Structure 1
Amino acid sequence: MSVRAVWNGVVVAESDDTVVVEGNHYFPPDSLRREHFTESSAKTLSPWKGVASYYSITVNGVTNPDAAWCYRHPWPLARKVKNRVAFWNGLQVLVHDPDDHGRDGR
């Protein structure tokens, strides 16, 4: 299964090794196309994951502020998402499963 994060028509991350938590795909750090990412000063606190740090994403001159987040020092229950990046705020996360050949159960 390959997963892509797309913003403004450009793939900004792609991996076959995402971790899904609360419906969000968390991408490994080496799957990011770093030229599109700028660290943000924004932070939020999850009651069970810890403090999230954010990135703004810029593609073709258009910036999507705070559109990606990661947990650099997650709390123990969330250790599987450490340093992985998830997306929101208009980014498309597209899942391609090569084993799914369009079968619809009929």
Structure 2
Amino acid sequence: MKATMHGHVLAEAPDDETIVIEGNVYFPPTTVLHDLLSESDTQYTCPWKGRSQYFNATIDDKQVRDVAWSYPDLRASAIDVVGRDFSGYVAFSPGVVVSRG
């Protein structure tokens, strides 16, 4: 799977390393190009996953707010529901194109 925005790759991972939750593809943190992302101050707490961390992207010297999010400290029940620990995995907003490699 590959996540791109304006021709820039934000993340790329083999399909079997990603997790699809509620229609969103979550990439392992080691497959995300963090040099294009910076932490956002946006606050959100999912009722079943817990507190999220949003990220802004800087592409061609322009900042795009809240293009990605992660759950750094998942609730244990979320891991039970998904069947796998996805703490720190990163998903992308609809403005980012996610496609098969």
How would you bin the TM-score normalised by the shorter chain? 0.7 to 0.9
TM-score after normalising by structure 1: 0.83
Q: Which runs of 5+ in 1 are unaligned?
A: 97-106
> Which residue is equivalent to 1:12?
10
More helix by share: 2
TM-score after normalising by structure 2: 0.86
> Which residue is equivalent to 1:37?
37
Q: Which runs of 4+ in 1 moved over 3 A?
A: none
CA distance in 2, matches of 1:78, 1:13: 23
The percent of aligned pairs where both chains have the same amino acid is: 34
Aligned length: 94
CA distance in 1, matches of 2:94, 2:21: 17
Secondary structure of 2:40's aligned partner: strand
**C-alpha RMSD of matched pairs (Å):** 1.1
CA distance in 1, matches of 2:43, 2:86: 16
Q: Which runs of 5+ in 2 are unaligned?
A: 80-84
